[in-house]
Chain A
């Protein structure tokens, strides 16, 4: 199906040579516009961080981005605001996210290798099936999956959130890796065959080492998406000590309600922080990933 979507595969040239085409006035206007947009976009975010450092009395009286008397009080209140410390919830999120990354990268790379490099009966058929699942909304499988995990006794454990990822259910990553593996010259495999390598050795010694860009992209995106995921943990986790940070934060909204925005903002800031750090470190990778594949987020 994705063949039909014709995802515009767009190279990102190092620098477009448009400099100098626009008149000074137009450039000044463009700058003014961009700075205004930056300000409007970032203002709420910066204000949230600033407010997490304010005493509660100040939050509803200050639109400024600089707290008058910065304090970490809200962080202390928030960290212990639930019956389980947020530390536990962050560990839960981290464990789930790391397992999902491992599962996704391993199983999707294996499937992509089979689809691109191995010849076996039914390959075309299964490949078409894989493309078919690319655009299938999760809602079509949601309820039977839930009932199945319920019958298996997996509900209220991390198994429904992690085990499926070891079975390459995120067809998107399979597709991403198929595209990348196809760009690796076949001569390299053939040379390895001459040297007596079997499919497993070729996969481990030739394909994977040459695929670090796509493996890194898959790693970062699957970590961020899992860290941010709310729906699956909401359905599958019941006990608060098993909650992810996202789920804990949402429970905290209920218990802190309108009363302690400072603590709420402090914990909100902390749940976004890991993603922000990944964003700073892997900015190029993320942006190129979006530009070349059209990933939705």
Chain B
């Protein structure tokens, strides 16, 4: 059937044209703004480059220096891991607690849900970082309240290197709303009759929570944990604004991304910063991979 074959060949031909026509913007973006830069950034990480003269090949020297001879890298790692390991569990715990409370069939659910979501929506903006600076300053809102309530004269939580990072953890926990919405949607997927059966068997609410709710919610917990962890590793704006871009006081809020920014865009060490960037990408990749490996031991999928 030559006619049909010709027709189908033409159809494939035309589809190729249309397909690549529609895909063209994405394809250009992928090649020019993702694939090319990924390769270039790996190459740059093996060079010494200030943007003024041509990149100067140094091999693995940047990585060697990061691993063995860069105290600020160690600081940035410590700060970032402390932030991630504190803020993510606290945020998820809080989000889960509030979601469970909201799931009791209370009136006003959509009001509370909206109010709790608002901080997640605006929490990353400069305005909120400015607010945080004031709230936790020596003469800020928190200390005024502490003074009025308990007569306690608080220190400046922002200027004190032993507490400054915790104000940022608190800011992250304040933005628990989007995780809460996802938990809430997950809770509503759990069939009601399971609880009814458990009640008939005499299981108390606390037992029901640990034996039914929590196990059935593990896919959602896992999802939230992975997303929030990746996000926490990339946190930047609040630390930048609160510390005036320094990561201070005395590097106590030197987030990894902040250190990367300083190396690249204030010191113009593009080669070194590229190596730092690759290490961050690697850390996130390893962390994600480990999460998936661990998932088989604690995440229950019902299929």
B interface residues, tally (CB under 8 Å):
105
Q: Label chain A's interface by main secondary structure.
A: helix
A104 to chain B, nearest CB (A): 11
- Please give me the residue from chain B that is nearest to A59 by CB atom: B134
A interface residues, tally (CB under 8 Å):
110
Cα A161 to Cα B5 in complex, Å, equals 48
Asked if B26 is an interface residue, CB under 8 A from chain A, the answer is yes
Asked if B166 is an interface residue, CB under 8 A from chain A, the answer is no
> Which of B26, B115, B126 interacts with A174 by CB under 8 Å?
B26
Tell me the residues in window 127-160 of chain A with beta carbons closer than 8 Å to chain B beta carbons.
129-130, 133, 135-148, 150
- Please give me the residue from chain A that is nearest to B187 by CB atom: A16
Residues of A within 8 A of B103 (CB): 16, 18
Residues of B within 8 A of A55 (CB): none
Asked if B144 is an interface residue, CB under 8 A from chain A, the answer is yes
Cα A183 to Cα B224 in complex, Å, equals 25
Query: Is the CB–CB distance between A254 and B122 below 8 Å?
Result: no
Q: Label chain B's interface by main secondary structure.
A: helix
Query: Is the CB–CB distance between B37 and A148 below 8 Å?
Result: yes
Q: Compute the total of residue contacts between A and B using a CB distance below 8 Å.
A: 303
Asked if B73 is an interface residue, CB under 8 A from chain A, the answer is no
Asked if B186 is an interface residue, CB under 8 A from chain A, the answer is yes
Asked if B155 is an interface residue, CB under 8 A from chain A, the answer is no
Cα A272 to Cα B130 in complex, Å, equals 12
Tell me the residues in window 223-280 of chain A with beta carbons closer than 8 Å to chain B beta carbons.
224, 228, 230-231, 234-235, 246-247, 249-250, 253-254, 258, 261, 264-265, 267-269, 271-272, 275-276, 279
Name A residues whose Cβ lies closer than 8 Å to a Cβ of B. 4-8, 10-13, 16-22, 26-27, 30-31, 33-34, 37-38, 41-42, 44-45, 47-48, 60-63, 106-108, 110-111, 113-115, 118-121, 123, 126, 129-130, 133, 135-148, 150, 164, 166-169, 174, 198-200, 203, 224, 228, 230-231, 234-235, 246-247, 249-250, 253-254, 258, 261, 264-265, 267-269, 271-272, 275-276, 279, 283, 286-287, 290-292, 294-297
Q: What are 7 A-B contacts defined by CB distance under 8 Å?
A: A8-B186, A18-B103, A30-B106, A38-B115, A143-B277, A230-B237, A265-B130
Name B residues whose Cβ lies closer than 8 Å to a Cβ of A. 12, 15-16, 18-30, 32-34, 36-38, 40-41, 44, 51, 98, 101-106, 112-122, 124-128, 130-131, 133-135, 137, 139, 141, 144-145, 148, 174, 178, 181-182, 184-189, 192, 195, 205, 219-220, 223-224, 226-228, 230-231, 233-234, 236-237, 240-241, 244, 257, 260-261, 264-265, 270, 273-274, 277-278, 280-281, 284, 288, 292, 301
